Structure 1
Amino acid sequence: MAAQDLATESLNLNLPSMGAVAGTELSPAEEQALGEEMMRQIRDDPSYLNDAETLEYLNRLGYKLVSVSDTHTYNFFFYPLIDPSLNAFAIPGGFIAVHTGLIIAAQNESELAGVIAHEVGHVSQRHIARMIDAQKGSAALSIGSFLLALLAARAGSGQAATALAVGGQAALIQNQLSYSRGAEREADRVGLTSLVRAGFDPKGMENFFMRLRQNNRYYEAAAPAYLLTHPLTVERISDMENRTRQLGARTHNDSLDFSLIQQRMRVLQQTKYDGWLQVSKEMKQDLQNAKTNRQKTALTYGLSVVSRKLNQKSDAIRYANQAVSLGGNNAILLKNQSETIFQYGNQTEKKSALAMSERLVSNNPLSEMAVKLYASQLFDLKRYNDTLRFMRTQQAMTQSNPSYHAINARCYRALKQMSRHYMSVGDMYLAQGDKRAAEYQYNLAQQANDGDYYTMSQVDGKLRSTRADIIAEEKAKNR
């Protein structure tokens, strides 16, 4: 397993079930904690796409909007879900999901940004917290059923559909999850303001929602998925038209990354060989008809990605090199080139690919995508101590990032330093806000007892601290 996938590696722990939402109106801190608890379940869903390129792009785009929004409470996190429907949704605490189908369907970057800005508006205005507060006391409302209803709103999720059929509670809560018309107008208003401040075309939001409303027959199951929880009325469309008219025409030049990620999503949205074959055929046809260099670059990159899925070595390398020639010094293109050469090359070629990824980190020191690539290649070359040294000096990932500890954990396990391995796994879970899972790992680290005095002192201290926090939280719940 590559190092960039470490954070999703299953450790077969029996994690605690979710409890009920209770108490008075959620504070922002409680809302954040609730969202983190829900995200642990979402990350375990097969539809969660732990893809470094897409995560980095969505969070860069999302924070362009957050940075100019009137919200400073939440640590936002934007992530993709593999689902062909046109949908995006927020859960408590600023965690915003974007379906692959939405990314692919956006006709320009301002449309994608418009939908994300709308979701940021729901979070910043605390619409989700208000819904939970309005429903407290309902016997049906638990964290688990709240999450289930959110997932069931996503047309196309097999697991959510199965759960919905089993649990009648979700149908009840689903109806309660629809935002009010007032909340929708408020999210439109604040989202549109952020969209303009961030330099995007305000028509992006209006155009997307109008197309969604007018073409729901064309999109079939996709349109209801979004409209189910985001009531789209004639008044809303009219209000958006009036606002964008007052703002006047504005232009935005789409980034190359937007086009690259769109083609990447066409590939990663498929999960079977036949799907990749079909995408490859369509991309080759699209490339023949491409008119601009941007289109040619993105499609050539997409063909390299799908060729790797199809294990077509020569095509994957050829398209990767061509994409770099067409697109220049773009981090996504350079990452793909290094990754492809490393995957298929001999030892000499792997060293060349490693040098490429090292340059990528040097030129993009704050890119988590670049850091994960270089770390994964060092790890695959069995240079475990070099990987650990690099992780200590890199600048993109802090110790609050679960993936930072996951990479270290794999290295320590390969070096057979089990106390450090378990401690790093515990640190990973603690960074995810899962104190019980962290306690379990710190206990394993203590039992392994193969570290030096300093390491074992760290383990003991973390175990005591985590246990004390768990006890304090349990007492607080019982008051």
Structure 2
Amino acid sequence: MKRSIKKNLYSLICAMFITSAAQAADNIFIPEMGTAGARGMTVQTERLYGEYFMRKARGAGIISYDPVMTEFINSVGQKLVLNANNVYFPFEFFLSADPSLNASAFLGGKVQVNAGLFHYTDNEDEFASVLAHEISHITQRHIARFIEEQSDRGAISIASIIASIALAIINPTVGAAAFSTSAGLMAQTGINFTRDNEYEADRIGISVLDKAGYNPMAMSTLFKKLFSMQGNINSAYALLIDHPLSEIRVAEAYNRAKNLPKRKNSTDPNFMFAKARVDVRYMNLKLNEFKERLQNTEKVNKYYKNYALALIYYGEKNYSKAKEYLENLSSMTSNDFIVDLYTDIDLESGNTSSAISRLRPLYSKKPYDSAITINLANAYLKSREGKQAQQVLEKFLQKYPNDSFASEMLTESFLQQKNKCQALITNAQTMALKSDYTRAFNSLNDAMHTCKGSYSQIARAQYSKISSQKDFDEKLEKRH
């Protein structure tokens, strides 16, 4: 299942993995900065800023709601987080449909992964090295310290920087202008600070990568690949053109990794499935030519090839041919990627009962797996079984209350049951997750005026809660 809201994307700031300002530095001593570096911004405040950012990101449509990709990205990310130090808040990894080579960290454990990152990495270890680097930027509180540094210099307030980032998401042109002051200041006066951050994130990231069981040499391998790309005049490599990797940084990554135990790259097929999915659905490739190349070569990973071809034929509505390629992966019938595509084929073919029968036993084993849960809920909704969808989604949302996609589906489940009052309340919660307060309050006002008893009381309580959230957002933005 895939739902992607595609809009113009503004490249997020904050410790880009590839956006290194590490010019050829001769002083490579990296201080242990840790959590003590952020003075005025408490962990709780940083977390609140992170949630604010996510509301703006959801509302602006930069998040691609692709449950199977979200599940994979978070499985890798959380594995790394478990092996990191100084983790003071939950991490959240999300996919952007942007095909460019990038990933970026933000306050409060929020990490954006561009779809293009899968296209340009060759294995899960290289991909994980990017996430390990971004995680390290957050655990070392590099972003919080940078924002405080600018505030200390009197250039721009903390609130202004945060609000500028959000504004950049909503309106890239205006946001870019609004942020130019702090971004320019960083470029002019923060080069050494940023360089140190990059080296520290490399060093700690390699350690996290190793502790999580990945090949610690993967970051060095990726660096060498990126280093060879420098000078390539291609918009996909814009960050490399603007912020080249230094030879010293590449060498440092290699020297750190070579002192750790050697380990082979992961052979888990999930990365190849994810890479194939990105290439077919996000990279704007000419699929007819891509299909022909895949069919005429044996020199490609079998998981990648068969899944990519199955996706292409599914997109062409040739479901029987898509199934042929899925059958070449018959040993993977319980895999999220395979189950997801089989489900899509069943639902498009009107075989909702087949989809539900396949998903139920998997759901009983993995009730919080977003790919399985969202697919099962969607199948129930397609078969007009709103009550069953409600039960699945409510359990999922207890653990992941900020999943606006699941919340939106829950609203639909109530509408199918003709429970208008609960639908209005749930819709308000969904809109609040996207910072769409006008629609949130419209739903709650409707509920308070038309619903009675407990529904009216719940609506009033939600109104108060969402009002507080709105006040927080507005105070932040007014400072800007």
TM-score (norm 2): 0.81
Match among 183, 189, 193 for residue 173 of structure 1 = 183
Q: Does 1:306 align with 2:336?
A: no
In 2, Cα distance between equivalents of 1:468 and 1:266: 42
Do the aligned residues in 2 keep the contact of 1:36 with 1:433 (CA within 8 Å)? Answer: no
1:121-132 equivalent positions in 2, closer than 5 A? 121-132=136-147
Distance 1:381 1:464 in 2: 36
Partner residue of 1:266?
Answer: 279
Unaligned runs of 5+ in 1: 11-22, 153-158
Aligned to 1:410: 412
SS in structure 1 at match of 2:65: coil
Please tell me the root mean square deviation across aligned C-alpha atoms, in Å: 3.5
Amino acid at match of 2:259: Q
**Pairing 1:352–2:354 present:** yes
| Shift in Å, 1:307 | 2.2
Q: Which moved more, 1:75-84 or 1:374-383?
A: 75-84
Match status 1:89 vs 2:95 = no
Kindly provide the CA deviation profile for residues 324-348 of structure 1, in whole angstroms up to 9, marking residues without a partner as x.
42544322212211221221x24xx
The residue identity in structure 2 corresponding to 1:146 is I
How far apart, in 1, do the equivalents of 2:445 and 2:6 lie? 20
Equivalent residues of 1:202, 1:244 under 8 A apart: yes
Task: Specify which of 218, 221, 236 is matched with residue 207 of structure 1.
Answer: 221
Per-residue CA deviations over 1:16-37 (Å, capped at 9, x if unaligned) read xxxxxxx973222222222222
Q: CA-to-partner distance for each residue in 1:39-79, whole Å, 9 max, x for gaps? A: 23333445532111111111110111111000321221112
Change (3 A) 1:171 1:225: farther
Distance 2:375 2:318 in 1: 21
* Equivalent of 1:361 in 337, 355, 363: 363
Within the candidate set 340, 345, 351, 1:340 is matched to 345
Match of 2:270 among 252, 257, 262: 257
Deviations 1:299-327 (A, max 9, x none): 2111222223233333333333x244254
1:422 is displaced (CA, Å) by 1.7
Unmatched runs of 5 consecutive residues or more in structure 2: 8-37
Give the % identical residues: 22
Deviation at 1:135, TM superposition (A): 1.4
Listed one character per residue, the Cα deviations across residues 387-429 of structure 1 (whole Å, up to 9, x for unaligned) are 2233345698544543443222112233443321121122334
Give 2:204's match in structure 1, choosing from 179, 183, 190.
Answer: 190
2:183 alignment partner AA: I
TM-superposed CA distance for 1:246, in Å, is 1.3
Judging changes above 3 Å, is the alpha-carbon distance between structure 1 residues 9 and 87 closer, same or farther for their aligned structure 2 residues? closer
Check if 1:281 corresponds to 2:300.
no
Residue aligning to 1:460: 460
Whether contact under 8 Å (1:146, 1:173) holds in the other structure is no
| Pairing 1:72–2:81 present | no
Residues 368-390 of structure 1: CA deviation (Å, up to 9, x unaligned): 11010010011111111222233
Alpha-carbon separation, structure 2, partners of 1:67 and 1:466: 32
Is residue 33 of structure 1 aligned with residue 43 of structure 2? no
Distance in 1 separating the partners of 2:83 and 2:279: 30
SS, match of residue 112 in structure 2 = strand
C-alpha contact (below 8 Å) 1:146/1:170 kept by paired residues: no
Number of matched pairs: 441
Among residues 260, 271, 275, which one is paired with 1:247 in the alignment?
260
Give a deviation string over 1:246-296, Cα, whole Å, max 9, x none. 11422132311100000000012146xxx4xx234324423442357xx22
2:421 aligns to what?
A: 419
Measure, in 1, the Cα distance between the counterparts of 2:65 and 2:51. 16
Letter of the structure 2 residue corresponding to residue 138 of structure 1: A
Instruction: Tell me, in whole angstroms, the C-alpha distance in 1 between the residues paired with 2:126 and 2:57.
Output: 25
User: Which residue in the other structure is 1:15 paired with?
Assistant: none
Residues 139-178 of structure 1: pairs in structure 2 closer than 5 A: 139=156, 141-147=160-166, 160=172, 162-163=173-174, 167=177, 169-170=179-180, 173=183, 176=186
Q: CA deviation at 1:213?
A: 1.4
Matching residue's letter, 1:456: S
Q: TM-score, normalised by structure 1?
A: 0.81
| Corresponding residue for residue 321 of structure 2 | 315
Higher mean C-alpha deviation, range 258-267 or range 40-49: 40-49
- 1:234 corresponds to which residue? 247
* Alignment-mate amino acid for residue 59 of structure 1: N
Change (3 A) 1:470 1:226: same
Alignment match, 2:303: 297
Measure, in 2, the Cα distance between the counterparts of 1:446 and 1:325.
Answer: 53
Q: Does 1:325 align with 2:327?
A: no
